[in-house]
Structure 1
């Protein structure tokens, strides 16, 4: 992972003057005053949930372990039927209910929170060390047009081989490509936001489920806001198995086929290039040089994603 993080850093150095994304800036470059570092602002952790008993406790424990002095935890639950609520009650400051789309839950969280900074996290995110938040918040002062502090995501140390492939290796490869070409939208989900920037774009679209985070990231970019990327990672404990990944492809396909990947800010060509060229190169390197056999899953990952998107596309053609 250290080698891949260095690649991300090197890519960022070439684009440090870019008007959208800034990668790991040094404190000497800061000239903004979005936040008062002598009186640290309230950070509201807004976490949508629905039947997440397997992951929510680790997420909330990692938030409670932060050395940051001023936080609140807002749970936005979609009518869970498992132990999610009973777990959340041990850690959260407020539980509200919204059984609508992901975008609707995020907007409900925004409206229910009080923080100057909004930490929009999924319930399967784990903050790996107690100083993460207090190190991340000062990056809002890079300049006064920063809306978001966007961290690297990696699979947790105990992740399955498939999770490491999808959440660490492919994520690094695809993000390096998008950052180097200045394509796509960044700093959507699992990111820190200034509340005022989300209010500037009129809040979060309640009508969008899959891809809502890309949509609000696009509107932030369109208003000229900047994203600061930091390589201090969050653990994303998701897509543990190929079966979980396969099921989710059909949900995402409905949204992204309709928009022809417009919500992601990518062309169909770029999607194919990432999967067929960059991913294949990564697989060859991973198997022959790194001897990381999680890459054996890659042909199945690509085939299943293309099958799901092709199936949904053909189904919509017949309607």
Structure 2
């Protein structure tokens, strides 16, 4: 099996409570071509002592003041060299052997951006929720249906990162991941797999996603509006407007058979264009007999 280099970044600031568990979830993968980088923002708790316990297994680490989460993530990626890239925050976790699944899936040339099936950990590190498979199109974002591409289980090729500017928006306070996904959507489709890769730790308090959700949503909607108005090709802008009008019209029909007739007679062209510009990629699943992942065409 080919083992492309996987670069993982962990940003941290005063995260001693869960940091070691996150580090162990990365290193215990036993993946032979791992580049693990930790960027600490000048923590005043026990974080640095925890990092030093594992420094012989790290490609790079530093502890110095930064401008926040996304500044730390950017610093980490600037130090990275791997063909496949991702970041995991210092309270979240990867599932066992996830990196081997990732390496196998990225052998498919058409896969440049990947999300595992979303999962949730609790404060004890137990897996307490696994969501159903949801396929994504950039149209979902343009229509405001952006909840959520799970950052903790997302991986991408360096070529996509470079094509998208080799940067994360360090001015963003909350929705930097969403802003990055918007730029990725300009060039690639997001493949999803039924495999468990990474998960989000849901805490009862002291978590940005809980305490600043309204601010995240405001940043997200602002960025989506900006993308629609400033970066979409005109033909896609026009099609999004048509689809919004179509959705508003079709929602007024209360009977399924009427909707089917309307789609076939009046909206066939829009539906065809929608599939062309905003179609979903196939789901990647695991084949029991071959013991390999496959793209369901």
Any idea what SS the aligned residue of 2:173 has?
A: coil
> Which residue, 41, 45, 52 being the options, matches 2:8?
45
| Structure 2 residue 146 is matched with structure 1 residue 189 | no
Contact 1:124 1:236 in 2 (8 A): no
Contact 2:116 2:196 in 1 (8 A): yes
Q: Bigger shift: 146-155 or 78-87?
A: 146-155
Alpha-carbon distance in structure 2 between the residues aligned to 1:100 and 1:147: 29
- Work out which of the two has the higher radius of gyration on C-alpha atoms and give 1 or 2: 2
More helix by share: 1
| Structure 2 residue 3 is matched with structure 1 residue 59 | no
Alpha-carbon distance in structure 1 between the residues aligned to 2:222 and 2:109: 30
Q: Please list, as runs of the form range in 1=range in 2, the aligned pairs for 1:146-185 lying within 5 A after superposition.
A: 146-156=111-121, 159=124, 164=128, 168=129, 172=131, 176=134, 179=136, 183-184=140-141
Q: Please list, as runs of the form range in 1=range in 2, the aligned pairs for 1:1-319 lying within 5 A after superposition.
A: 38=2, 40-91=3-54, 92-96=58-62, 97=64, 99-129=66-96, 131-144=97-110, 146-156=111-121, 159=124, 164=128, 168=129, 172=131, 176=134, 179=136, 183-184=140-141, 189-190=151-152, 191-202=154-165, 203-223=167-187, 225-234=188-197, 236=199, 238-241=201-204, 243-244=205-206, 248-260=209-221, 262-263=223-224
Alignment coverage as a number of residue pairs: 218
Q: Bigger shift: 73-82 or 133-142?
A: 133-142
Specify every segment of 5 or more residues in structure 1 that has no aligned partner in the other structure, as ranges. Answer: 1-36, 267-319
* 1:26-71 deviation line (CA, Å, top 9, x unaligned): xxxxxxxxxxx53x22211111111111111111112111132111
Any idea what SS the aligned residue of 1:124 has?
A: coil
1:111/1:158 CA distance change after superposition, 3 Å: closer
Q: Over aligned residues, Cα RMSD in angstroms?
A: 3.4
* TM-score, structure 2 normalization: 0.62
Alpha-carbon distance in structure 2 between the residues aligned to 1:128 and 1:260: 31
**1:232 Cα deviation from its structure 2 partner:** 2.4
Contact 2:120 2:202 in 1 (8 A): no
**1:211 Cα deviation from its structure 2 partner:** 0.7
**1:160 Cα deviation from its structure 2 partner:** 9.2
Specify every segment of 5 or more residues in structure 2 that has no aligned partner in the other structure, as ranges. Answer: 229-297
Higher relative contact order (CA 8 A, sep 6+): 1
* TM-score, structure 1 normalization: 0.58
Any idea what SS the aligned residue of 2:202 has?
A: coil
- Equivalence for 1:22: none
Contact 2:123 2:201 in 1 (8 A): no
Contact 1:67 1:134 in 2 (8 A): no
